[in-house]
A and B are shown apart, each in its own frame.
Chain A
Amino acid sequence: MSLLSPVIAVVLTAVVGAALFAALGKDPLSALQVFFLEPFHGTRALTELALKSTPLILIALGLALCYRSNVWNIGAEGQFLMGAIGGGGLALWVTTEAIPMSPWAFFPLVIVAGALAGAAWAGVVALLRDRFNANEILTSLMLVYVANYFLSWLVFGPWKDPDGFNFPQTVSFASQTELPRVIRGMRLHWGSAVALLAAGGMWLFLFRTFAGIQLQVGGPAPAAARYAGFSSHAAIWTTLLTSGALAGVAGAFEVAGPMGQLTPHVSTGYGFTAIIVAFVGRLHPLGCILGSGVLSMFLIGGELAQSRIGLPSALSGVFQGVLLLSLLACDTLIHYRPRWSGTR
């Protein structure tokens, strides 16, 4: 029944959606078709869906690890931005120095740059929690804003394109820094394969290694973990550094992939959306992949619903909310039975 709950939630969302469409005076069936089927229609649509999902998968994997271990990293957005700065900085350097290299040689380098930058940013959170017992929910969230301003400072200042009409953006990166494409003419890059590999790796780590078990015991039962001799310090560092690195790689892929330059608008809230993805996906690596697909579908479906049938853009936001609410409601109502009781 628990496994069914996401399915029930999606069905509920579709029903609520149909009612909404009808209320807006659109044919519910064709609207649902645009929302739920069109994003999967054709090669280009599928590659776009995979492209949109890639950063969400990477970030959500790291967050799933954190949340299973009772480490509440809310600042994946900041780690994503730092990864974008790391990867973008490397690409900018290769561009301005005109370093000859193949995109395939640049590919691993940009992964390392993004991972290091993201992990370093999450490392600050780990240090504050480990040394000063500072609440990681607050510190990680606040570091998002710091990262955002750091990115703004870079693109408004030292990294600004000198020929860009004073607009806050870097030069367009050279072709050797472009992530290799999966299919010619489509924007989907091999970073998406990296995201799938990361999901496999996370599954192995969580369910097939002793370290993974240790972390997960420490989450719900810290006292038991301490009694068994598992280090809570190690748990904080492992989870935060891993999730920071994954979010950083996602950021590096976004700038070296579809963007091709740094601007103040690198992220459209991936770090926060991924929190929803992680929970929709039951904090399970496979679930993270499916959850990313569902949320990307809502987003792309929302755009299509605008251009094809003239529905307002707020609708995809409403859909996300309805899905989340139904999921939480299903979970609660499956595990608990509401009892209406007056005074006894």
Chain B
Amino acid sequence: MTNRSSPKFLALAVVFAAAGLTACGQKAAPPAPAPVAAPAPAKPAPLKAAFVYVGPVGDAGYTYAHDAGRKEAVAKLGDKVATTFVENIKEGPDAERVIRELATAGNKVIFATSFGFGDSMAKVAKDFPDVYFEHATGFRTSDNMRVYEPRIHEGAYLAGIVAGRMTKTNVLGFVGSFPIPEVLRNINAFTLGAQSVNPKIKTKVVWVGSWFDPPKETEAAKTLINGKADVLLQNTDSTAVLQEAERQHKYAFGWDSDMSSFAPKAHLGSCMLLWGVYYEKALNDVLGKTWKTGATKWGYREGMTDFVKIPDFVPADVKKKVEDAKAGLKAGTLDIFKGPITDSTGKVQLAKGLAADDKWLGGVTFYVKGVEGKVPASK
């Protein structure tokens, strides 16, 4: 192979570079796919339901938890339902095409599992009045579109209790995705939980601007550890933060799913999202023709969140405190956000004696006292 002109050679290099860059743009590829359950049709045709996932089902976090929920609901409902899923869908124009295609293909219920799918779903919902649309963590509802979300800040609070006792530096770290109320609630609940056992707690936050970006999450964890944080929590979907803590002999938590196997020494517990209970209910609503629009917010009490796998080296009195808090959540006697709540600038956000309602929770745009820094671009 002689006489290769240099532009041609460059061209090859460029094409390969482009292929590499496109591949990077697509983030991590999911490992072995779970085969979609397609039960054999029984006498009445099964209810067709579809799930749109923002990440790969193999992310071991958020999307993995959704898919576990889907499988759980299918296991309970058996051949009354037939489900499919589409993974790795970008928020934006691609989502609308995918949701529309699923509606056209005869699915009667469609679940979209990320906040950024809301606009796309609302557009499609208008055109398919006899299909039911379910949007996780969103706020847009209509006659045939409703929203659901777990009170995951309960898990963050329970993690905070453990973190507050296990820290040696009294500095906690939090890797945030986007500064929306849901995430700010988690940062605040984590801090309040820690302060409930250790008033000296300070929390540092680093934002990565993504739900799933392992390299960036790792960088953020490094930054926090350099800033003296020794117990980390993340509101992102991968195991990267936990694994970085393991490498640096610090502590961290699992988020969305049980991540204990990824960091046996660093793992202090996992904040679980258990979507299955809701998926079962939603499918049953459609099967029993009792589907009504609205917003569902479920927590530990309803079985949609949990905090599990606290390791043996955590002192028994800490575990006891977590169990007490869980009992309080179950009985409805523990309010995580209860006045007085002061924000990081010293302003009282919730007056003494008041407990937060859903409206207050939906409008959290501040850090509580003890969280360092400023919420990005908050006015």
Contact = CB atoms under 8 A, between A and B. Distances in A.
Interface of A: 25, 44, 48, 51, 67, 70, 72, 74, 137, 152, 156-157, 160, 165-168, 172, 185, 187, 219-220, 254, 257-261, 263-266, 268-269, 272-273, 275-276, 279, 300, 303-304, 306-308, 310-314, 317, 320-321, 324, 328, 332, 336, 338
Q: Which 4 A-B pairs have the closest CB atoms?
A: A310-B36, A275-B18, A312-B33, A258-B93
A92 to B, nearest CB: 16
Interface of B: 1, 5, 7, 10-12, 14-15, 17-19, 21-23, 25-26, 29-30, 32-33, 35-36, 38, 50, 56, 84-94, 96-98, 100-102, 104-105, 115-116, 119, 127, 139, 178-181, 184, 209, 362, 365, 375-378
Contact of A279 (B11, B97, B100): B11
B6 to A, nearest CB: 9
B15 A254 contact: no
B26 A317 contact: yes
B178 A168 contact: yes
Given A166-B180, A276-B19, A220 B101 contact: no
Contacts of A187: 93, 96-97
B176 to A, nearest CB: 11
Contact of A259 (B7, B33, B92): B92
B18 A304 contact: no
A318 to B, nearest CB: 9
B86 A307 contact: yes
A29 B362 CA distance: 50
Nearest to B5: A220
A67 B11 contact: yes
Contacts of A137: 14
A317 B29 contact: yes
Contacts of B14: 67, 72, 74, 137, 275, 279
Given A166-B365, A324-B19, A268 B181 contact: no
A261 B122 CA distance: 15
B96 A165 contact: no
B344 to A, nearest CB: 16
Contacts of A304: 101
A264 B97 CA distance: 19
Nearest to B26: A317
Nearest to B89: A303
A71 B35 CA distance: 46
A137 B96 CA distance: 35
Contacts of A70: 7
20 contacts: A74-B17, A166-B178, A166-B365, A187-B96, A187-B97, A220-B7, A254-B93, A261-B119, A268-B92, A273-B22, A306-B85, A307-B101, A310-B38, A311-B33, A312-B30, A312-B33, A312-B87, A313-B30, A313-B87, A320-B19
A254 B38 CA distance: 36
A187 B96 CA distance: 10
B15 A324 contact: yes
A320 B22 contact: yes
Nearest to B20: A272
Contacts of A261: 119
Contacts of B209: 152, 156, 168, 264
A317 to B, nearest CB: 6
B101 A303 contact: yes
B33 A310 contact: yes
Nearest to B52: A307
A268 B87 CA distance: 15
A314 B90 CA distance: 14
Contacts of B22: 269, 272-273, 276, 317, 320
Contacts of A185: 127
A328 B91 contact: no
B54 to A, nearest CB: 11
Contacts of A259: 92-93
A48 B10 CA distance: 34
Nearest to A312: B33
B286 to A, nearest CB: 19
B92 A263 contact: yes
Contacts of B180: 165-167
B221 to A, nearest CB: 20
Contacts of B25: 268-269, 272
Contacts of A306: 84-87
Contacts of B184: 166
A254 B1 CA distance: 43
